[in-house]
Amino acid sequence: MAPLHLQLANSTLRRVIKRLHFPLEIMLVCVRWYAAYPLSLRNLEEMMAERGVTVDHATVHRWALKILPVLTAVFRTRKRSVDGSWRVDETYILVGGQWKYLYRAVDRMGLTVDFLLTARRDEAAARRFFEQAINLHDAPEKITIDKSGANTAAVRALIADSGLAIELRQSKYLNNVVEQDHRAIKRRIRPMMGFKSFWAARRILAGVETMHMIRKGQMSCPKGVVTPAAQQFYSLAI
């Protein structure tokens, strides 16, 4: 495992890892693997042992819960803009033995607009997601949804209250791109066998989504410079 030679400049991350007692390079490698690949925590424990690093699977989980939210916040400041035509859909996520809802949007090219895990699937949850996405990327020209009454009501209420000129479309066919994109997230979290708490689910899912966006090339990098996804992820810490 090659050293990353990172110089930590992120003050928030510095505070987070202060008492974790492992080199940053090892923690970041474990956290990236956990966010990027369909591996269980015990898989990671075995993989690190093969590399001469003794670390308990519960410790890796603790690293992910602490580090991923910090890197996600940094990524949001470096995220590229998206197209003005959004496709929005939600999928089911098992949390504490109950189904919760992961709202997601992608643009017409399949680039991720934003995501939000909610406890309910209703107008209030949908509107919260739309407002969060608009705060990050400004208002889109078009929003395409399925026949969900909650999503329809949320978009119409948002348009009425804000005066935004957004075209609302309802089309199952046009939403295939976001439904297909759900698969990458589902494939990653399947080995996790669900989450124990809503709090933990939000943090881990944020890291999974961030790594997914980096792989799509959605992180701003110097023009003309091709940087591997792994190095882009590690650069969020410095």
pLDDT digits (tens, 9 = 90+) for 29-68: 999 999 999 999 999 999 999 999 999 999 999 999 999 9
Integer angstrom CA distances of residue 158 from 105, 142, 191: 16, 13, 37
Question: What's the token pair of residue 136?
Answer: 């990050």
Whole-number Cα distances in Å, 64 to 31, 60, 77, 176, 207 = 5, 6, 20, 31, 8
- Structural domain includes residue 210: no
Residue 138 three-state SS: coil
What's the pLDDT at 193?
83
CATH number, domain containing residue 150: 3.30.420.10
**72 and 113 share one domain:** no
The parent domain of residue 53 ranges over 11-79+219-235
Mean pLDDT of 69-82: 94
Would 200 be classed as within a structural domain? no
| Rounded-to-integer distance, Cα 226 and Cα 219, Å | 11
For the chain, what is the domain count? 2
Q: Categorize the per-residue pLDDT at 174 as very low, low, confident or very high, splitting at 50, 70 and 90.
A: confident
Mean pLDDT taken over the chain: 91
Question: Cβ atoms within 10 A of the Cβ of 129, count?
Answer: 25
**What Rg value do the Cα atoms of the chain yield, rounded?**
19
Helix locations, the chain, DSSP H: 11-17, 24-36, 41-50, 57-78, 123-137, 149-162, 176-189, 198-215, 229-235
pLDDT single digits (tens) 186-229: 999 999 888 999 999 999 999 999 999 999 999 998 877 788 99
Q: pLDDT-derived band of residue 175, with 50, 70 and 90 as boundaries?
A: confident
CA distance 181 to 175: 10
**Confidence class for position 169, pLDDT limits 50, 70, 90:** very high
Neighbouring-strand partners of residue 112: 106
